[in-house]
Structure 1
Amino acid sequence: MNETHTKKEKILLLVKIVFPILVTQVAMYLVTFFDIYMTSRYGTEDLAGVSIGSSFWVPVYIGLAGILMSITPIVAQLMGAKKKEQVKQAVQQGIYLSLLLATIVFAFFYFGIDSLLTLMNLEPAVADVASRYIQAMSIGLIPLFIYTTLRSYIDALGATRVTMVISLLSTPINILFNYLLIFGKFGFPELGGVGAGLASAITYWLILAIAAWIIHTRNPFSVYGIFRKWPKLSLSRWIEISRIGVPIGISIFVETSIFSAVTFMLAAYGTYTIAAHQIALNFTSLLYMLPLSISMGATILVGYEVGAKRFRDARQYSWLSVVTAVSFSFVSACILYFMRVEIAALYTSDPVVVELAVQFLLFAALFQLSDAIQAPVQGALRGYKDVNITFVMAVISYWIIGLPCGYLLANYTDFGAFGYWIGLIIGLTAGAITLSIRLLSIQKKIARHTTT
């Protein structure tokens, strides 16, 4: 990365950083996307089971992996401050931490998932698919967590095209193994939704191997010697990673788990409603990859400028990211609104599921603007290493405002199941407003200190 002087240069650098991240995020998400999509072509019960399984898997994985995302602002600021000699230790300690977190999550799923599913009173076939799907996915926990650390390191060096190429390889690998293991082709066992979980685990191991090979053999990564001369565990470095990463991880967990909580509550409405909700959520999450990618780009660029003490440039990158995301949110909303019938029909031919999914997609179109604001604002705040207040705001917005509103609307109005999605809109809007106020406050505080 390099210093920019004009808005045009900043826009070009933002695009240069964000586009590969976007392709990477889409490619990584397509692993889950095709799990859902290909399972939906297999059967409604398997789709519902994978939906429930994903609702446990995604927030737990993303929340803890969010801790490892702290490697991005840490390394970005070290690079901006010309402290390259400290990069290796930060990444290696991140790998150690990723192994610990993967072990914790594996134990949680292995010993606790069946008990949690029992509490939900699911249909036996749906509960069985959900349990075995999660167990199959857990085989890929270690490579997925380590890859998250390595990817954060690669992105922090500004080499986002490398992670783009790696992630692009993951999509065809996952589709191939999904085809073989879900439908039982070419002599492979027919596992249905469980096959989707096993296919994802295999994919995660393969992309970790590719990433490790590139980092070990190719510049500019190999010069840091990430896989050479492993140090002892450093408590001080773990504390630094955790101090930044834990609030990031919890914030992401709070945001993603609200969708999982809605899925669990919708279980009371039956298999068809769960399936329709998952279809809408699955496609909406694909569109969310754009503001999420802009958010990650904002973390890199803002962190780099803050490390170099170019606070004016950091502020410009922050709001340039927001404006870009908001502009594209109108396109996403139009896609969801005008093509909602076609989108639902892509997943299933069941008329009941299609009718419900079309209605869910209408509500999904309504929260595109809020998502487009809160995501890059959070990314910018991470670039400033301001994560604690962000976490508190996320908890209040999603769990104290959004979910209770959804519950009241679902149970005490005629909205029914759709009331939970209105609650999501309310929570995301509250988050967008409060986080924007926090970012403005941080920037004004820095401006006062730099002018005095």
Structure 2
Amino acid sequence: MRGFPSGAVRPPVRRTNAGGSGCDQRGATMSADGARQGWWSGEAGVRELLGSALPLAVSTSTFALMYFCDRMFLAWYDTLDMAAVMQAGTFSWTASAFFFGLASYAIAFVSQYRGSGRPDRIGAVVWHTAYVALLSLPCFLLIATLADDLFVWFGHAPELIDRQASYIRIMAVGMPGQVLAAGLNAFFVGLDRTRIVMLIDVAASLVNIVLDYLWIFGIPGIAGTEWGLEGAAWATVVAIWFKVVCYLLLMRLQTDRATFAFASSWRFDPDLAWRMIRYGGPNGLQFTLEGSTFAVILLFLGRLEPLAMEATTLAISVNLVAFVPMIGIAMAVTGAVGNQIGRGRADLATRATWSGMAIGTFYSGLFAFAYWFLPEKFLIFHQLDPVEDARLIGWSIFLLKFVAAYCLFDAWQLIFASAIKGAGDTLFTVWTLVATTVIVVVCGAAIEPLFETFDGKLLWWWSCLTGWLMMLCVAFGGRFFQGRWRTMSVVETHAIETPTAGDAIASRPVSRAVEASRRPRRSR
């Protein structure tokens, strides 16, 4: 956090039950920490959040770049490979989404323990995310075994099924590493050490892109190294495990690692495990439902002619340039909200959310404008033939109009959801996903037969996708304004200090705050 030594924990601020929220003491505490400064430079303002969000946006952008290059190389190699990877990649993500969401929710735990002055509990959180990765292994083995049957059941084209199943079987080797990397990432994000995350992701993406090219097209002068789709999958797996190794090495090199009690907190903690499941489980289910909804829409599109998947793949891969950096901004919002909730400052958590909203609106708005008015510019790098691929180009450009329509709604729902989840309001998000998913999938499947042409069916499913994201924006925004999340917390009650605002913020040294966090707590 700016203004504090790396790894230092801010002294917590008094929680109050008056009116149900610490924000009701706003007038008493704002003067103590300068919170009345402007929206740009004040605490939890745009400038402060940018310090965390920009490295994370760069970090997640490397994934978009990696994904874009992967699909672009496959489009150069074989457009059927590109279409197969779109569906298989979506399914492999959906399969790992629950465990990934459960592990990545450790961001809220780390940030709230940091804000409440309990760094000694952070090591246990990281250990328990590693246990989540171990528990995911049987699931991924089962998915690899059943890969062929899934796509046969959905009636996909025979030329796609073998490619899709092969991709999923290879990715099963990397899925546990993806879950483990999410938990290790949460350690650095929750502590606001986001530059480390950025450097690791940039390095892993470079590894992936280089191996992608060499293993898809073959290493010059070496026969038998042209692996196409399988080469792309193995490049991704290697990059995932490279990232895990980097995280472990850099955690080992942290000068304050003893503060987090890694050596003594490896034992299974039933209370912590229950809270991680209670709050992180719905987050994992949310990830799964989001991925499942998108995967089901793609599976229905896959029943149409291959052109539907090729155009959809191009439009979605272009959209990732705008969407994936928003994930980094949302991660920063989750960490900032969690830290302020841990400190008992729901008012600053609200400010952090609006700071994230301002950043996200500006960024996504630029891309919404470009997708609507300059869509053809985003297809230049795919080297499509204007004559042979004229139909594909035309549909891809048209689908980017849909992307422009939902781009801002997607950004807003992501920020609102990240804010309430940072406080611990994960159950609402999962029930919202259940309701909207049922509506979209049931209505989509029921109405699709009314459209007799390829054009009508394709436009209908893209309309369903757009409407789904708009519904999420309305639901999560409504929950944020309702304000129930302000009184929530994922950490144990005795982890919250209750000093006066003046003592906590104005005069207590950070070293005393950390030392005090290790002393026994008095019950209130």
The TM-score bracket by the shorter chain reads over 0.9
TM-score (normalizing by structure 1): 0.93
Work out the CA distance in 1 between the residues paired with 2:172 and 2:333. Answer: 31
Which residue matches 2:475?
434
Question: Quick check: 369-378 or 279-288, which moved more?
Answer: 279-288
Indicate conservation of the 8 Å contact 1:315/1:443, yes or no. Answer: no
Q: Which moved more, 1:342-351 or 1:138-147?
A: 342-351
Q: After alignment, is 360-369 or 231-240 more displaced? A: 231-240
Quick check: 1:255 aligned with 2:274? no
Q: 2:219 aligns with which of 173, 185, 198?
A: 185
- Is residue 401 of structure 1 aligned with residue 436 of structure 2? no
Aligned to 1:133: 167
Partner of 2:520: none
Contact 1:79 1:307 in 2 (8 A): yes
More helix by share: 1
Name which of structure 1's ranges 379-388 and 348-357 shifts more when overlaid on structure 2. 348-357
Measure, in 2, the Cα distance between the counterparts of 1:223 and 1:232: 17
- What TM-score, normalized to structure 2? 0.81
Match of 1:390 in 2: 429
User: Is the alpha carbon distance of 1:133 and 1:424 closer, same or farther for their aligned partners in structure 2, counting shifts above 3 Å?
Assistant: same
Residue in 1 aligned with 2:354? 319
| Identical columns (%) | 21
Residue 331 of structure 1, CA deviation: 0.7
Q: Does 1:118 align with 2:141?
A: no
| Structure 2 residue 327 is the aligned partner of structure 1 residue 292 | yes
1:95 aligns with 2:133: no
- Are the aligned partners of 1:65 and 1:249 in contact in 2 as well (CA < 8 Å)? yes
Aligned twin of 1:421: 462
Partner of 2:236: 200
The more displaced of 278-287 and 399-408 is 399-408
Deviation for aligned residue 1:194: 1.5
Aligned pairs (5 A) from 1:48-447: 48-101=83-136, 103-186=137-220, 187=222, 189-221=225-257, 223-224=259-260, 226=262, 228-229=263-264, 231-347=266-382, 348-349=384-385, 350-397=389-436, 399-407=437-445, 410-413=448-451, 415-442=456-483, 446=487
Does the Cα contact within 8 Å between 2:322 and 2:367 map onto a contact in 1? yes
CA contact (8 A) 2:334 2:418 kept: yes
> What letter is aligned with 1:163?
V
Question: What is the number of residues matched between the two proteins?
Answer: 444
Measure, in 1, the Cα distance between the counterparts of 2:90 and 2:380. 22
Which residue in 2 is equivalent to 1:450?
A: none
Alpha-carbon shift at residue 173 of structure 1 (Å): 0.6
Given that 1:302 and 1:314 are in contact with CA atoms closer than 8 Å, whether structure 2 keeps it comes out as: yes
* Separation in 1, partners of 2:444, 2:61: 29
SS of structure 2 residue aligned to 1:122: coil
* Cα deviation 1:128-186 (Å, max 9, x = unaligned): 11111111122212322111100011100000110000001112111111111111123
Task: Report if aligned partners of 1:133, 1:195 keep a CA contact under 8 Å in 2.
Answer: no
Distance 1:220 1:275, change over 3 A: farther
**Matched residues in 2 for 1:32 and 1:130: separation?**
16
Q: Is the deviation greater in 18-27 or in 47-56? A: 47-56
Aligned to 2:502: none
Question: Unpaired runs of 5+ in structure 1?
Answer: 448-452
Compared with structure 1, are the counterparts of its residues 267 and 231 closer, same or farther at alpha carbon in structure 2 (3 Å cutoff)? same
Contact kept? 2:108, 2:190, Cα under 8 Å: yes
Q: Is the 8 A contact 2:423 2:485 kept in 1?
A: no
Tell me if structure 1 keeps the 8 A contact 2:283–2:426: yes
Greater Rg, structure 1 or structure 2? 2
The Cα of 1:220 is off from its aligned counterpart by: 4.2
Give unmatched runs, 5+ long, in structure 2.
3-32, 489-524
Deviations 1:355-394 (A, max 9, x none): 2211211111110121121000011011110110111112
SS of the aligned residue for 1:180 comes to: helix
SS at match of 1:82: coil
Task: Tell me how far 1:230 sits from its aligned partner.
Answer: 6.3
User: Alpha-carbon deviations, 1:306-350, whole Å to 9, x = none?
Assistant: 000011111111222223322322211112122222323432332
CA distance in 2, matches of 1:70, 1:4: 30
Give the superposed CA RMSD: 2.0
